[in-house]
């Protein structure tokens, strides 16, 4: 009892939050309450980011010093540096006052932690925080990666500042049309890449890689706002193409003249992979990643064609196969994805790159599917209508078919009859088996009864002899004391019940 | 679409390859980019998108060659393929009069859609089969001249005429690009041309589906 009370006493003090805020803490939160723990955690994250930036800054400074010492005459370079630093600091101060969710990602070395925690714990509902809360975690991740990428760059801070400002401004623009949104984003890409070329003297490859990261960061954050926006009829188009593809489920490889042979395991494997990849496109957020899915899908298609045809695939082979894959996959939100990529992808990638080529082919495949008619499948328009309405299917013979169809039909019918006969035969056999089983069961019961009767009759006819009860040598008598002993134990057990109940521990006062 | 890198320019051109099936489009481009013909040991996975880096009079040129599906049923998709392209190679089989007719249709369509921005090359392929020729040299060359295109005779099998064809096409595309630049002034040319391209990407899919192109065929 005393230990119990002491336990409670100790717990009471340990259960409380270590910060002494009066709430209960939790071991999983290092003895803090949820609120205090979150504050602590945010502060640590903040510190980590600050340290990272400090490191990046130091490295940059060292690099610049090394550069300056190597090129003594380029004094202008070093003259610029302090000014740009000053500007950076100014930005930092300014940004620390901006009350948004992105705030604690900003390298605000001067922000006192107190201010930060108060913001985080109360999560004041600033206009953009509610808007971007749902994509918070992805945005968080994207921002982190973006910062990591920009760290080693001289102009990293500047780029980040611009991208963040632009992304935030876009959130307020979501009511304008999708084309205007696209225009804004494309203008931003253009201006930024121009600036990277001229101001920061980046090489083409370098600028490309920076622009890739910029696209990734911005589109991850903006995805929810600009993918399939309400201002467009993208969703309607999605449903239309989805319905259309479903209605075309009967299209076969032969109709499209697809040069792949799915009998070959490797080919069917590639086909499945291609289908998976084109479906996966919808799960990606960044236009570049979506394009990568299309490219992977295309590579699998090429592989399937190459294995089937034993030669490199040309566009004549590729496009029909892609159409076939799209028909089989029925990728979710196909039109939205295509529109999203055209609107927000880096234009250079879309216009000349390999990814752009595959994307164009996908657009072609979709356009073809939308306009598909009997002629383009080498079918008469009557056949096409029959297939579309579901009254006939190329997989089974037409009901209105001629003698060939009738013959095929009767063959199928006789096969059905044969199967039915087989089924009834099987049923009968099962009945018989069940009957036999029941018989066996009753036989077994009869047999045990019989045995018991026999034993009884034998015992009756040979009653135990009372003349020599104490003959120790007889085998029968050795069993008798054993039986007695066992019964004695049993009786012992019976006697147990007569014993008084076990003593109950008694409680004494004091 | 030509992009600048520092002082020296690098041109990137998109070239579409048009022509009926079986005229040897794929062989032509594989021969040009990989110098292969009917190779038993093909390492290339595909021959539908190929690139080639060139150096013409000190200027670097990146060529992206887009193969298109030549079957009649895909004819209506042409505009999606050739938007924003700088050049087009129209291939026909000299033994096949039909394929030459198809080329004529393509030319009409391209001129209608892209005007004179695009450089055209008409190519009579399979000159190794000259004894079976069905399209006369004079007819083809006079037609090419009448539509402002250059005419070439090639053989992917014998590797004849292909280098010349692409070299000439590149030179003409460079001239067009330079003229374009001069026209638009120097400073804003890049952003202007790129913006134009973006807008076309946005608007074209809806604006130019199939249309009247099939009626001529």
Percentage of chain B lying above the pLDDT 90 cut? 45
Per-residue CA distances from B116 to A35, A381, B146, B173 (Å): 68, 39, 13, 11
pLDDT 10s digits, B59-118:
899 999 999 998 888 988 988 998 889 999 999 999 999 999 999 999 999 998 888 889
* Interface contact A318, partner B, CB < 8 A: yes
B10-177: what fold? Answer: Rossmann fold (3.40.50)
Contact A293, A287 (CB under 8 A): no
Nearest chain A CA: its distance from B146 CA (Å): 29
Residue A102: Cβ within 10 Å count: 18
Give the residue among A156, A151, A145, A139 at the shortest CA–CA distance from A52: A151
pLDDT at residue B145 in the model: 93
Mutate to test the interface with B, among A179, A287, A352, A356 (most CBs of B within 10 A): A352
Q: What are phi and psi of A231, to 5 degrees?
A: -75, -10
Chain A residues near residue B80 by CB distance under 8 angstroms: 360, 363-364, 367
What would the two tokens of residue B185 be?
A: 């002034």
How many Å lie between the alpha carbon of A190 and the closest alpha carbon of chain B?
7
Angle (CA) A226-A232-A238 rounded to 5° is: 90
Could you tell me which chain B residue has the CA closest to the CA of A187? B195
Q: Which residue has the higher pLDDT, A60 or B171?
A: B171
Residue A216 near chain B (CB below 8 Å): no
Residue whose pair of structure tokens reads 């029941």 in the numeric block = A438
Is A91 part of the contact surface with chain B (CB cutoff 8 Å)?
no
Q: What is the mean pLDDT of residues B157-167?
A: 92
Which is nearest to B104 in space by CA: B167, B27, B172, B20?
B20
CB-CB neighbors (< 8 A) of A306 in chain B: 42, 45-46
Tell me how close the Cα of A220 comes to any Cα of chain B, in angstroms.
21
Q: What is the spatial distance between Cα B215 and Cα B217, in angstroms, rounded to a whole number? A: 6
Asked whether this complex has an ipTM greater than 0.90, the answer is no
- How does DSSP assign chain B, residue by residue? --EE-SSSEEEEEEEEEE--TTSSHHHHHHHHHH--SS-SS---SBSSEEEEEEEETTEEEEEEEEE---SGGGGGGHHHHHTT-SEEEEEEETT-HHHHHHHHHHHHHHHHHHTTSSEEEEEEE-GGGGGG--S-HHHHHHHHHHTT-EEEE-BTTTTBSHHHHHHHHHHHHHHHHHHHHHHH-STTHHHHHHHHHHHHHHHHHHH-SSGGGGGG-
The helix/strand count (H/E) of chain A reads as 20, 0
Average of per-residue pLDDT across B114-143: 91
- How many whole angstroms from its chain centre is CA A5? 50
Listed range (A145-149, B30-34, B40-44, B89-93) with the worst mean pLDDT? B40-44
Cβ distance A312 to B47 less than 8 Å, yes or no, reads yes
Residue stretches of chain A with pLDDT short of 70? 1-14, 68-137, 174, 200-202, 395-410, 464-497, 509-510
Do the chains contact at B26 and A364, CB–CB below 8 Å?
no
Residue that wins the pLDDT comparison between A66 and B124: B124
Contact A109, A35 (CB under 8 A): no
B214 at A interface, C-beta within 8 A: no
Does residue B4 belong to the interface with chain A, where contact is any CB pair within 8 Å? yes
The pTM (predicted TM-score) of the whole model is 0.63
- Computed on alpha carbons and rounded to an integer, the radius of gyration of chain A in Å comes to 41
Instruction: Please tell me the distance in Å from A209's CA to the nearest CA on chain B.
Output: 14
Is the CB of A130 inside 8 Å of chain B's CB atoms? no
Report chain B's C-alpha Rg in angstroms.
Answer: 17
Closest Cα in chain B, distance from residue A31 (Å): 57
Residue A46: its pLDDT value, please?
84
Domain limits, chain B: 10-177
Contact B134, B94 (CB under 8 A): yes
pLDDT given at position B188: 44
Averaged confidence pLDDT in chain B: 80
Scan residues 82-141 of B and list those with Cβ closer than 8 Å to A: 84
Residue of B nearest to A181 (CA): B202
Determine the residue of chain A that is closest to B193 in CA distance: A190
| Probe site for chain A from B17, B69, B190 (most A CB atoms < 10 A) | B69
Q: B195, A357: Cβ pair inside 8 Å?
A: no
> Which of B26, B48, B189 best probes binding to A when mutated, by most A CB atoms within 10 angstroms?
B48
Q: Any CB–CB contact under 8 A between B48 and chain A?
A: yes
Separation between Cα atoms, residue A124 and residue A139, nearest integer Å: 19
Residues 6+ apart with CB under 8 A from B197: A347, A351, B1, B84
For tokens 């900003």, name the residue.
A106
Asked whether the predicted pLDDT for residue B187 surpasses 70, the reply is no
- Which of A45-54, A407-416, B18-27, B138-147 is least confident? A407-416
Q: What is the DSSP string of A360-382?
A: HHHHHHHHHHHH--GGGGT--HH
Q: B67 at the A interface (CB within 8 A)?
A: yes
* CA dihedral angle for residue A224, residue A227, residue A232, residue A238, rounded to 10 degrees: -120
CB nearest B5 (choices: A204, A360, A371): A204
Write down the H helix ranges in A281-314: 287-309
User: Do the Cβ atoms of A119 and A99 come closer than 8 Å?
Assistant: yes
What lies within 8 Å, CB to CB, of A301 at 6+ separation is A270, A271, A274, A313, A318, A321, A322, A325
Task: Please check whether residue B49 touches A, CB under 8 A.
Answer: yes
**Residue in B with minimal Cα distance to A352:** B14
Give the closest-approach CA distance of B184 to chain A in angstroms: 17
Three-state SS for A24? strand
Q: Among positive and negative, which fits the CA dihedral A442, A447, A448, A452?
A: positive
């Amino acid at each position: 009892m005393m230990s119990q009370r002491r336990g409670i006493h100790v717990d009471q003090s340990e259960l409380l939050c270590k910060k002494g805020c009066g709430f209960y803490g939790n071991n999983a939160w290092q003895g803090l309450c949820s609120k205090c723990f979150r504050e602590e955690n945010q502060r640590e994250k903040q510190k980590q980011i600050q340290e990272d930036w400090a490191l990046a800054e130091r490295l940059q400074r060292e690099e610049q010093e090394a550069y300056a010492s190597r090129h003594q005459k380029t004094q202008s370079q070093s003259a610029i540096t302090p000014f740009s630093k000053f500007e950076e600091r100014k930005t930092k101060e300014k940004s620390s006052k901006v009350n948004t969710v992105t705030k604690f990602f900003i390298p605000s070395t001067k922000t006192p932690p107190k201010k930060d925690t108060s913001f985080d714990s109360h999560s004041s509902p600033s206009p953009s925080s509610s808007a971007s809360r749902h994509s918070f975690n992805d945005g968080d991740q994207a921002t982190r990666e973006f910062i990591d990428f920009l760290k080693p760059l001289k102009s990293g801070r500047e780029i980040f500042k611009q991208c963040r400002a632009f992304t935030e401004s876009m959130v307020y623009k979501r009511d304008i049309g999708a084309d205007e949104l696209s225009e804004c984003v494309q203008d931003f890409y253009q201006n930024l890449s121009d600036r990277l070329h001229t101001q920061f003297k980046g090489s083409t490859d370098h600028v490309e890689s920076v622009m890739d990261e910029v696209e990734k960061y911005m589109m991850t954050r903006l995805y929810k706002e600009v993918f399939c926006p309400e201002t467009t009829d993208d969703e309607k188009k999605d449903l239309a193409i989805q319905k259309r593809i479903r209605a075309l489920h009967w299209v076969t490889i032969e109709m499209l003249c697809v040069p792949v042979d799915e009998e070959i395991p490797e080919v069917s494997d590639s086909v499945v992979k291609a289908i998976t990849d084109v479906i996966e496109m919808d799960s990606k957020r960044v236009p570049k990643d979506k394009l990568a899915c299309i490219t992977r899908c295309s590579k699998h298609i090429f592989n399937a064609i190459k294995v089937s045809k034993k030669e490199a695939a040309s566009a004549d082979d590729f496009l029909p196969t892609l159409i076939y894959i799209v028909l089989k996959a029925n990728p979710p939100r196909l039109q939205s994805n295509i529109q999203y990529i055209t609107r927000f992808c880096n234009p250079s990638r879309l216009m000349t790159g390999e990814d752009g080529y595959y994307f164009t082919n996908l657009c072609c495949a979709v356009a073809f599917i939308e306009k598909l008619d009997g002629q383009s499948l080498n079918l008469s328009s009557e056949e096409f209508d029959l297939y579309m309405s579901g009254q006939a299917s190329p997989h089974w013979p037409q009901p209105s078919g001629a003698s060939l169809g009738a013959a095929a039909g009767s063959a199928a019918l006789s096969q059905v009859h044969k199967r039915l006969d087989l089924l009834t035969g099987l049923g009968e056999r099962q009945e018989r088996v069940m009957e036999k089983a029941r018989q066996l069961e009753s036989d077994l019961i009869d047999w045990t009864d019989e045995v018991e009767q026999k034993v009884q009759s034998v015992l009756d006819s040979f009653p135990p002899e009372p003349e020599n009860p104490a003959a120790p040598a007889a085998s029968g008598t050795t069993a008798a004391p054993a039986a007695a002993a066992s019964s004695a134990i049993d009786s012992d057990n019976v006697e147990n019940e007569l014993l008084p109940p076990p003593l109950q521990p008694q409680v004494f006062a004091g | 679409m030509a992009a600048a890198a520092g002082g020296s320019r690098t041109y990137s051109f998109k070239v579409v390859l048009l022509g009926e099936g079986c005229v040897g489009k794929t062989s032509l481009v594989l021969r040009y980019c990989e110098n292969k013909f009917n190779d038993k040991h093909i390492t290339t996975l595909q021959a539908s998108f190929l690139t080639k880096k060139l150096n013409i009079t000190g200027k670097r040129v990146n060529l992206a060659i887009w193969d298109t599906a030549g079957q009649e049923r895909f004819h209506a998709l042409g505009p999606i393929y050739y938007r924003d392209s700088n050049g087009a190679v129209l291939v026909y089989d000299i033994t096949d009069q039909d394929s030459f007719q198809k080329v004529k249709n393509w030319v009409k369509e391209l001129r209608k859609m892209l005007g004179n921005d695009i450089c055209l090359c008409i190519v009579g392929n399979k000159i190794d089969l000259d004894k079976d020729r069905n399209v006369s040299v004079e007819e083809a060359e006079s037609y090419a001249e009448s539509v402002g295109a250059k005419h070439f005779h090639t053989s992917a099998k014998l590797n004849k005429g292909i280098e010349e064809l692409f070299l000439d096409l590149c030179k003409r595309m460079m001239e067009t690009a330079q003229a374009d630049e001069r026209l638009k002034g120097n400073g804003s040319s890049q952003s202007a041309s790129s913006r134009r391209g973006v807008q076309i990407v946005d608007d074209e899919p809806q604006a130019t589906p199939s249309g009247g192109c099939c009626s001529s065929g």
